[in-house]
Structure 1
Amino acid sequence: MLDWMVWTLPTAVFFICIGLMLAGMTVWELRRPTTLRKGFLPIATTRGDRLFIGLLIAAYINLGFLGLSEKLAEWLGLEQEPSVWISFVVSMLVLALILRKG
């Protein structure tokens, strides 16, 4: 069914995390409705806004890492390209920061 796409473990984990975050945020919103607040982002946001902005930034971090990983290996003198788990961890940390302080 999904033979047209190469599903690697990091890709599957990334999308599973997104699904779990969406489900968790839905339950959280139903139990405790959100209010606008101002963090370090230049606009007042709700939890859902911060999640959306954080997911976009996480996607850009992962895409940027994939695009630059060959160059990173060359610049750092590595035998092979760095693991995509690095970008996954970085993107989840940035997402957590945006959700918490954004």
Structure 2
Amino acid sequence: MAWMAWTTPTAIFFAVIALLLITFTILAIRFPETPRRGVLGIETTRGDRLFITLLGSAFINLAWLGLVGLAQPWALLVCLVWAAIVFRWV
């Protein structure tokens, strides 16, 4: 895979996404859940909330790069707060 610029942060990013997907698959098999209705008014499962979290985090990071201009690790803190909000109330 020499054609792709695999840096350490890129490899960590994809490894974390893969581990999240594996973890959530195992959780879904071992502990099935019924969908719940949150503040969005739609029924969501753990997987749905993970998808909403990842999508929102992508937009947070893009906005952070374009608007804030501070060090990117601070955006990670904002994303973690976003994840906590989504998993609690969505």
| TM-score higher than 0.5 | yes
Distance in 2 (CA, whole Å) between partners of 1:56 and 1:8 is 22
Q: Which has the higher strand share?
A: 2
1:16 deviation in Å? 3.1
Q: What SS does the aligned partner of 2:22 have?
A: helix
Give the direction of change, closer, same or farther, for the CA distance of 1:34–1:89 in structure 2 (3 Å limit): same
Does residue 57 of structure 2 align to residue 58 of structure 1? yes
One-letter code of the match for 1:89? L
CA RMSD of aligned residues (A): 2.1
Distance in 1 (CA, whole Å) between partners of 2:60 and 2:42 is 22
Gaps of 5+ in 2: none
Q: Which residue of 2 aligns with 1:98?
A: 86
Distance in 2 (CA, whole Å) between partners of 1:27 and 1:90 is 27
Give the direction of change, closer, same or farther, for the CA distance of 1:87–1:14 in structure 2 (3 Å limit): farther
How many residues are matched? 90
Give the ranges of 4+ consecutive aligned residues of structure 1 lying more than 4 Å apart after TM superposition.
none
In percent, how many aligned pairs have the same letter? 42
1:91 deviation in Å? 0.9
Q: Which residue of 2 aligns with 1:29?
A: 28
Give the direction of change, closer, same or farther, for the CA distance of 1:87–1:6 in structure 2 (3 Å limit): farther
The alignment's TM-score, normalised by the length of structure 2, stands at 0.80
Distance in 1 (CA, whole Å) between partners of 2:28 and 2:66 is 36
1:4 deviation in Å? 3.6
Cα offsets for 1:10-67 (capped at 9, x unmatched) = x444433322221111110010112111112221111111111111001110111112
Q: Which residue of 2 aligns with 1:74?
A: none
Gaps of 5+ in 1: 71-81
The alignment's TM-score, normalised by the length of structure 1, stands at 0.72
Q: Which residue of 2 aligns with 1:79?
A: none
